[in-house]
Structure 1
Amino acid sequence: MTSTHHRPLTAEDLLASPRGRSLVFGLALSGREDEFDDEGQPLTASARALDEFRNAVFIAGYLADKAQGAAVAMYLGEGDSEPAPGAVTAGDVAEKLRFVTPSKPSQAELEHTMAEVIGGAMYWQPPHGADHIAAGPEVCEALRPFAEELIGTGLLDAWSRPLDTENQWALAWDDEEHRGGLPAVFTHPTGPIDQAESRPAISLADLFSPADGDGDRLPWGFDAWLGHVLTTETEYRHDLVKDPNDEVSGEWRSTPPKGLWTSTSTWPDQTPIGVELVEDDFGLERARACRLRLRPEAHIAEICWPEDWAQLCRRFPLDVTAQRRYVWSETTGRKGRWVIPDWPRVAEEFDGVHVSLAGYLRTAGSVVEVGDHSLVETSPSLPTIGNTDDATVSLMAGWHPDMTFWLNDVVDTVTEVVEWVYDNDADAWRRTPTQ
């Protein structure tokens, strides 16, 4: 590992990646609400510039969504008419943005905007219209002063650090609609756990819903997961041999098997990062955070750059071309060979895989080049119609920022349980008193 591996983020890093651009774009849209009256009307020249920029983004984003076939509608006031295609372009957005003055975000504003970005991350459909607009060259260049202002705050400096093994929290969510029942961890009192215990007071099974009815079941294990991926790939290939133009959506994640321990560290105020930054967020509002004590010999793979993800895929490739072909082409516009890491093989060398906050911003949602066509075995059943290139690539999808997947048995004990509840009025997570 080179001395620059954990180099802090730069403005160029942010503007070159989908999630980084979205973060900067979101901050540019935020502004100071005290410069608007109770009706939302701007009170100052800077607020008027921001208001015009917001309006331009709204219309241009709506038109971009509509052009991509999204089912969107615009609610019009009396006398208003729907904007015609091309009425507001990315160039118009960039021009409005140039009159907006960059401001230094606070830690709270940064976390809130980051949560909005992560909650809206999707890998099974085209990017949102606003994300499409932000990716335009003119808008990217107009965003540069905002990216540089953000970097200059120093708030992102710590986002490139390696895994903090002394501050890892696993989460159990209380969400009956989406999780199938209350995880058993909610029957345990909060607070520190007696360290005299020789084994964990809370087991892995306690972090998941019971296997009742349609509830989620606990892990298949690596063998069952691999068997499922291989079987699914074979089924999709057979279907594509019958009809090469058949486009059927499928699994979109590139994460290890469900049911492994996962954890994140905390923000400066000790709120677990994992309660705020959740991809494909269902609006979860209550969680128990379990502090983990890890075995010191754990061997960690750090994902700080797209090349780190590429190396995992290059060394341990698992071909998922047929089953990811359509769903990932929707979000990237790219068709061709796709691989993900073969997690059982990764687990033979690494105990955990950690995606830092910086690594997430640089990598998530980007098409990561892995190798040439020789990386994937040629087969008559391999779909090729409509391919946009001959490369083998990957997509890091379904990971949360700062998340570590623990591939092997390296969790020694759970040392503390803390309950967190989302406060809708304050728009923030709050720690509840210890029982």
Structure 2
Amino acid sequence: MEPDIEQLLNGPRGRRLCLELAMEMDQDIRIAVFHLGYNLDPGAGRSRRMLTMDPVGEAPPPLPESTMEELAGLITSLDLRNITTELVQHAFQRAVDTARYWQEPEGEDFLAATQEITESLAHVAKSLEGKPATLWWDQKALPGQWAIDWRSADDPTPLPRNPQHTLAEWVRKERAEELRAAKERPQDPRANFSGEWWSIPHGLIHTVARIPEGLSLVEDSLGWEEATVIPVAGTGRILEITTEEDWTTLCRAFPLEVTASRRHDWFRTTDRHGRWVIPDWEQAASTWDAVHLTVTGYLSVAGRALAVGEDTSSVIAGWNPDTTFWLNDVVRESGEPRQHWHRPHNQDEWQLAAGG
């Protein structure tokens, strides 16, 4: 595999994007993934159940299920010459929608991570090279971006300010939570405990470069159907996170211990037991004004256990692709008109409101 293809398939979200795209292209692949993914899902038969009924309400005899070898063959034989931007965007949205860092991955993620299926997905990954839908995946943070407020235009709110205070409060709460978790939670990572799982600070201005794409590429979405997007301008010392080393270098420079508070959630999502750290964002602000996670970085790195040291790792969790977090007060609303977008109920496509 070429290096960029290998990088994409190293990441849980990159593999899931390729698998989702293959399902978009072929119904037989979708059916095979449905059955094989169900069989691999940790919640099969409990939190995830398979029900089949025929038109008269009776359970039909089970359909023959594809094997891993048959699915891999279907994927490698796909004709991918007609991939459209819309298909790639929908697969990307599904890859983001299905990210979860507080429990085990879905069966489809386990399926995509098997050697046989990962190798077959190289055919899909290679087909993405040079496609218009992917040309922005390595794009660095732009001076002009958009902040998203998940409220209607009838509820105007100024952008948050004073990031130094926000970061000081964030790190204080993180340290207090770590101390409390160390006292109250068991060290067994399999214990049924959950808590903080994000690796990002809350309450800061965070922006995206592309609208409406940024409205759909949201992890752990609450199903918003309205959004006000605010044009902003910002510049300064911006750290680009595109590779594993970009993140681990940041963690080594400004480590914040989160083992007790993240142990149980991140064990479930990575199957790793050990010490965990994330960046101390308050300290990082002394060196960087903002940090941007590129699409390539997201697809190849998010959700993995990333080795920071011999016995220490970290996870990028809860950070949407192509999102910039502003650590210092260097970003302002640009003065251009705000826009109001809405999404009809139970639909995927966002629409710009009239006059918005």
Give TM-score scaled by structure 1 length.
Answer: 0.74
Contact 1:104 1:150 in 2 (8 A): no
Alignment of 1:145 with 2:123, yes or no, is yes
Contact 2:42 2:104 in 1 (8 A): no
**Which residue of 62, 76, 80 maps to 2:60?**
80
Question: Which amino acid is 2:182 matched to?
Answer: R
Residue deviations 1:168-212, cap 9 Å, x none?
A: 0001112xxxxxxx6xx6345xxxxxxxxxxxxx63259xxxxxx
Alignment of 1:339 with 2:277, yes or no, is yes
- Higher mean C-alpha deviation, range 330-339 or range 99-108: 99-108
After TM superposition, the structure 1 = structure 2 runs for residues 88-107 of structure 1, keeping only pairs within 5 Å, are 88-107=66-85
**Which residue of 210, 213, 221 maps to 2:166?**
221
Report what 1:265 is aligned to.
209
Contact 1:317 1:342 in 2 (8 A): yes
Residue deviations 1:79-133, cap 9 Å, x none?
A: 535689xx65533422343443334421222112111111111101111111111
SS in 2 for 1:354: strand
Q: Distance in 1 between matches of 2:282 and 2:289?
A: 11
Question: Which amino acid is 1:369 matched to?
Answer: A
Distance 1:249 1:368, change over 3 A: same
Question: Which amino acid is 1:127 matched to?
Answer: P
SS in 1 for 2:307: strand
Question: Which amino acid is 2:209 matched to?
Answer: S
Question: Which amino acid is 2:207 matched to?
Answer: S
Deviation at 1:414, TM superposition (A): 3.7
SS in 2 for 1:221: helix
Report what 1:170 is aligned to.
147
Contact 2:189 2:267 in 1 (8 A): no
**Which residue of 329, 332, 339 maps to 1:418?**
339
Report what 1:324 is aligned to.
262
Instruction: Please list every run of at least 4 consecutive aligned residues from structure 1 whose deviation after the TM superposition is greater than 6 angstroms.
Output: 241-245
Distance 1:393 1:89, change over 3 A: farther
Distance 1:361 1:350, change over 3 A: same
Deviation at 1:399, TM superposition (A): 0.4
Residue deviations 1:37-81, cap 9 Å, x none?
A: xxxxxxxxxxxxx33322211111111115767511111223535
Distance 1:82 1:327, change over 3 A: farther
Residue deviations 1:272-294, cap 9 Å, x none?
A: 43212100112211101000122
Alignment of 1:24 with 2:4, yes or no, is no
**Which residue of 209, 217, 220 maps to 1:280?**
220
Identity %: 35
Contact 1:254 1:340 in 2 (8 A): yes
Deviation at 1:141, TM superposition (A): 1.2
Report what 1:382 is aligned to.
none
Deviation at 1:263, TM superposition (A): 0.5
Distance 1:359 1:238, change over 3 A: same
Q: Distance in 2 between matches of 1:224 and 1:429?
A: 34
**Which residue of 271, 292, 295 maps to 1:357?**
295
Alignment of 1:292 with 2:272, yes or no, is no
Residue deviations 1:139-158, cap 9 Å, x none?
A: 11111111111114253232
Report what 2:6 is aligned to.
12
Contact 2:195 2:265 in 1 (8 A): yes
> Which runs of no fewer than 5 residues in structure 2 stay unpaired?
none
Deviation at 1:318, TM superposition (A): 0.4
Distance 1:79 1:287, change over 3 A: closer
Question: Which amino acid is 1:170 matched to?
Answer: A
Contact 2:274 2:312 in 1 (8 A): yes
> Which runs of no fewer than 5 residues in structure 1 stay unpaired?
1-7, 32-49, 175-181, 189-201, 207-217, 373-390
Counting matched residue pairs gives: 349
Deviation at 1:244, TM superposition (A): 8.9
Contact 2:189 2:264 in 1 (8 A): no
Alignment of 1:397 with 2:314, yes or no, is no
Contact 1:169 1:291 in 2 (8 A): yes
Contact 1:74 1:82 in 2 (8 A): no
Residue deviations 1:211-258, cap 9 Å, x none?
A: xxxxxxx997222211211111111212357989855211110001x2
Report what 1:239 is aligned to.
184
Larger-Rg structure: 1
Q: Distance in 1 between matches of 2:179 and 2:33?
A: 43
